[in-house]
Structure 1
Amino acid sequence: MKNQKNKHFETEAVRIQTDRTKFSEHSTPLYLTSGFVFEDSEEMRAAFAEEKQRDLYSRYSNPNTSEFITKMCALEGAEDGFAFATGMAAVYSTFAALLNAGDHIVSCRSVFGATHALFTKYFPKWNINTTYFTTTEEEKLEELIQPNTKLIYVETPTNPGVDVLDLEKISKVAKKHGILFVVDNCFATPYLQNPIKFGADLVIHSATKLIDGQGRVLGGVTVGTADLIREIYLFSRVTGPAMSPFNAWVLSKSLETLAVRADRHCENALKLAEFLEIHSKVNWVKYPFLPSHPRYEVAKKQMKLGGSIVAFEVKGGVDAGKKFFDSIEMCSLSANLGDTRTIVTHPASTTHSKLAAEDKEAVGITDGMVRCSVGLEYVEDIIKDVDQALTGI
């Protein structure tokens, strides 16, 4: 892999690429092959003995997935990584590779609904248990550490309430107790936030979201220290959650435009948040770069910009919320996020519907809460559509 170690994110994202073939192509070609051939038996033996680094089988590695991983490592400041079929495949495989029966997880309470299901429904089957903490309980985090605690896991900003956790503070607790610190960086992307700089051991992304940015393909990736990624790689090589070469090719190209897209997403999101903050039909608004956000100073410390997600609550509860969603005209009603198109989602009845009422309450998911993934449309058109839907409540 070519890694010119450029100093700037935008250049790294564009210029890192798989070595050219004999055709000297400018854009990386697709390597749609399941396997790779060897010159002789000795080369084959050495490759499988890992005496020689090369592609063997696309479930293990492929030039397209390797290029995507190399880019993500450069952009996140990581030593190595592995690319997965989906974001949840990355989350599950990372935990499954590193945890054993009897281990304990400490996690922020506000996590993606499927991650919560892993922690509460599936991992307990294997005697792996989780203790949650909220953003207001960071000072008490150390009290949650048990002798069998293996790792601390957080999302920041969180899904769906865009709460912000202090990465530096949490990493100090993890390092003091010799446990792993794993961060889901999906909402921020490596362009807006680099958790490794603040002490994270591993960083996970659902590449389906802002990294793709156009709602086309699924993907996930975990990057971090080489020794931990080695364990994740060996587990994934056996269990088979690898990203497809085609999706890796799409995502690697998507990274080339991430910076310019994210700049516009963030600019639009801040303007929408400022508009909503003074709207008569809105109870509250949360956006990391609004001064009214409870963790505004922390967000400014560890993020370049505030991201593409705005959370707000409409006045009037369930009925008002239904009217709002039914009145939307331009924006899309979808459970996805990070798209070029603005998307409005009702977490209580969709992405986080499986959470118990008390769990929703604990992370601030109310019946009137809206998660808005702000797109790349002209911002006044986004505001106009949201305003007319609110007016109809």
Structure 2
Amino acid sequence: MSHLETNLIHQGHEFNQTKAVVSPIYQSSTYYADQDLSEYIIAASESKHPYFYHRHGNPSNSQAASIIASLEHTEDALVLATGMAAISTAILAIVKAGDHIVTQRSLYSGAMLFFKEFLPDYGITVTHVDQSDNQAFEHAIQENTKLIYVETPSNPNLAITDLEFIGQLAKKHQLVSMVDNTFASPINQCPKDFGIDVIIHSATKYLGGHSDLTAGVVCGTKTFIQQVWRRSLVMGASLSPFDSWLLVRGLKTLALRVRQINQNALALASYLEKHPAIKQVAYVGLPAHPQYELAQKQMKGGTGMLCLEIGADGEELAYQYAQTVLNNLKIFANAASLGGVESLVVHPASMWGGHHDAQQKASAGITSGMLRVSVGIEHIEDLIADFKQAFAGLGF
């Protein structure tokens, strides 16, 4: 088996049936059928067949899926139109009316809405627990539990879930374990190595890496991916040929990008935790992180995500301070999403304000003075200088 960096360039090349060094964009909704009807039946029914109809499969999609499955050490993968398409389709391939899911309290807002508002309407119940409390997961399991769903590090507060414990717990109770690995990326964390069954990504983020596509991916066994594929046929969230081509392009530099981002994020977090304007910094690569030892055990890098809380007396003043810093930053753009080559910053309490009430935000650890930072590949001295001049607006 080749090294990771080599696989990122060459994995899945068999789906490029041309002499082009860079795989072409297969911008076709349908493909000519073989005259032999028996072959046509196979193309129409085979999972992810790349040359039948785009909703079923596409050569570019197959290449992207092959690369990501190799990254995540799984047998197979399926790429879809968005991260939420991956989350919802994978979950609905496991549960039905009357089933129960155990998950954590701190989750990406889209996933939280899916658990709190969509699934209950279809007779599926969900229990949320503190992700740092291993025993809480086991105590929440019921007779009708089918799935344990986790996210680590969590969005936005960078809490860590013990993947090895979750993997063993799921096997003990004959459940499916599923993790959203978006924040870590496969460069920093391979959940399959800790016994996790299914890995989800918003490929919009680190995997694509250039803020120019939306995509999602589900990784697992061939049998499970076939189940997810069958769900995807009726849910219709196919990834476009152009976006899958962009994803393949982005994946080629994933290892290089993430390693530079890791280095920048650690340096920035180290600067921020010492700054008098900052109440606290959540970054899994800092020894001050309450789950630092667990992060070191299951992660190979700290990721480019960090969360800082500006010190202030009261929520109103904290909100004003956060607004001032956002207005003053020049390199860090105030924009949703993460994982790109450019550095971004958002105010979670505002971004998710329409989706979470005060109690839900408090439960997820979202405060008025919190800023979520996605560190890019710019020069670290420029990134630190940007925050330094932004804090000057607060009198520091």
- Residue aligning to 2:156: 160
Note if contact 2:50-2:58 (Cα within 8 Å) is conserved in structure 1.
no
User: How far does the alpha carbon of each residue in 1:272-300 deviate from its partner, in whole angstroms, 9 at most, with x for none?
Assistant: 00001100000000111101111111111
- Residue aligning to 1:379: 380
Residue type of the alignment partner of 2:388 = D
CA gap of 1:352–1:41, structure 2 versus 1, over 3 A, is farther
Residue type of the alignment partner of 2:22 = S
1:104 and 2:100 are equivalent in the alignment: yes
- The whole-number CA distance in structure 2 between the counterparts of 1:303 and 1:320 is 33
Residue 55 of structure 1: how far off its partner (Å): 2.2
Residue type of the alignment partner of 2:26 = Y
Note if contact 2:130-2:136 (Cα within 8 Å) is conserved in structure 1.
no
1:313 and 2:309 are equivalent in the alignment: yes
Identity %: 38
Note if contact 1:335-1:351 (Cα within 8 Å) is conserved in structure 2.
no
Residue 19 of structure 1: how far off its partner (Å): 2.6
- Aligned match of 1:10 in 5, 9, 20? 5
Provide the aligned length of Structure 1 versus Structure 2.
388
- Residue aligning to 1:331: 332
Residue 94 of structure 1: how far off its partner (Å): 0.9
- Residue aligning to 1:126: 122
CA gap of 1:168–1:326, structure 2 versus 1, over 3 A, is same
1:184 and 2:184 are equivalent in the alignment: no
SS in 2 for 1:364: coil
User: How far does the alpha carbon of each residue in 1:18-66 deviate from its partner, in whole angstroms, 9 at most, with x for none?
Assistant: 3376752211111111111123042323433549965211111110000
- The whole-number CA distance in structure 2 between the counterparts of 1:389 and 1:332 is 12
SS in 1 for 2:246: helix
- Residue aligning to 2:227: 231
User: How far does the alpha carbon of each residue in 1:166-200 deviate from its partner, in whole angstroms, 9 at most, with x for none?
Assistant: 10011111111111100000011111111011011
1:254 and 2:255 are equivalent in the alignment: no
Residue type of the alignment partner of 1:95 = I
Note if contact 1:265-1:375 (Cα within 8 Å) is conserved in structure 2.
yes
Q: Following superposition of structure 1 onto structure 2, how do residues 154-303 of structure 1 map, counting pairs within 5 Å?
A: 154-303=150-299
CA gap of 1:52–1:367, structure 2 versus 1, over 3 A, is closer
SS in 1 for 2:297: helix
CA gap of 1:51–1:175, structure 2 versus 1, over 3 A, is closer
- The whole-number CA distance in structure 1 between the counterparts of 2:45 and 2:289 is 53
Note if contact 1:182-1:203 (Cα within 8 Å) is conserved in structure 2.
yes
Residue type of the alignment partner of 2:187 = Y
- Residue aligning to 2:369: 368
Q: Runs of 4 or more off by more than 6 Å in structure 1?
A: none
- Aligned match of 2:26 in 1, 26, 31? 31
SS in 2 for 1:117: helix
User: How far does the alpha carbon of each residue in 1:78-119 deviate from its partner, in whole angstroms, 9 at most, with x for none?
Assistant: 111111100011111111222100111111111011111111
CA gap of 1:211–1:57, structure 2 versus 1, over 3 A, is same
Note if contact 1:134-1:363 (Cα within 8 Å) is conserved in structure 2.
no
- The whole-number CA distance in structure 1 between the counterparts of 2:185 and 2:152 is 10
User: How far does the alpha carbon of each residue in 1:346-367 deviate from its partner, in whole angstroms, 9 at most, with x for none?
Assistant: 0011046421212211221111
- Residue aligning to 2:139: 143
Residue type of the alignment partner of 1:343 = L
Note if contact 1:59-1:237 (Cα within 8 Å) is conserved in structure 2.
yes
SS in 1 for 2:218: strand
CA gap of 1:314–1:53, structure 2 versus 1, over 3 A, is closer
Note if contact 1:113-1:352 (Cα within 8 Å) is conserved in structure 2.
no
Residue type of the alignment partner of 1:253 = R
- The whole-number CA distance in structure 2 between the counterparts of 1:331 and 1:230 is 41
Which deviates further from its counterpart, 258-267 or 90-99?
A: 90-99
CA gap of 1:304–1:330, structure 2 versus 1, over 3 A, is same
Residue type of the alignment partner of 1:102 = G
Residue 305 of structure 1: how far off its partner (Å): 0.5
- The whole-number CA distance in structure 1 between the counterparts of 2:336 and 2:253 is 23
CA gap of 1:50–1:204, structure 2 versus 1, over 3 A, is closer
CA gap of 1:323–1:35, structure 2 versus 1, over 3 A, is same
SS in 1 for 2:13: coil
Q: Which runs of 5+ in 2 are unaligned?
A: 313-317
Note if contact 1:46-1:52 (Cα within 8 Å) is conserved in structure 2.
no
Residue type of the alignment partner of 1:101 = A
1:340 and 2:341 are equivalent in the alignment: yes
SS in 2 for 1:135: coil
CA gap of 1:222–1:297, structure 2 versus 1, over 3 A, is same
| TM-score computed with the length of structure 1 as normaliser | 0.95
- The whole-number CA distance in structure 2 between the counterparts of 1:51 and 1:22 is 19
Q: Which runs of 5+ in 1 are unaligned?
A: none
Residue 240 of structure 1: how far off its partner (Å): 1.1
1:79 and 2:80 are equivalent in the alignment: no
- The whole-number CA distance in structure 2 between the counterparts of 1:368 and 1:358 is 16
SS in 1 for 2:14: coil
Which deviates further from its counterpart, 201-210 or 313-322?
A: 313-322
Q: Please provide the CA RMSD for this pair.
A: 1.6
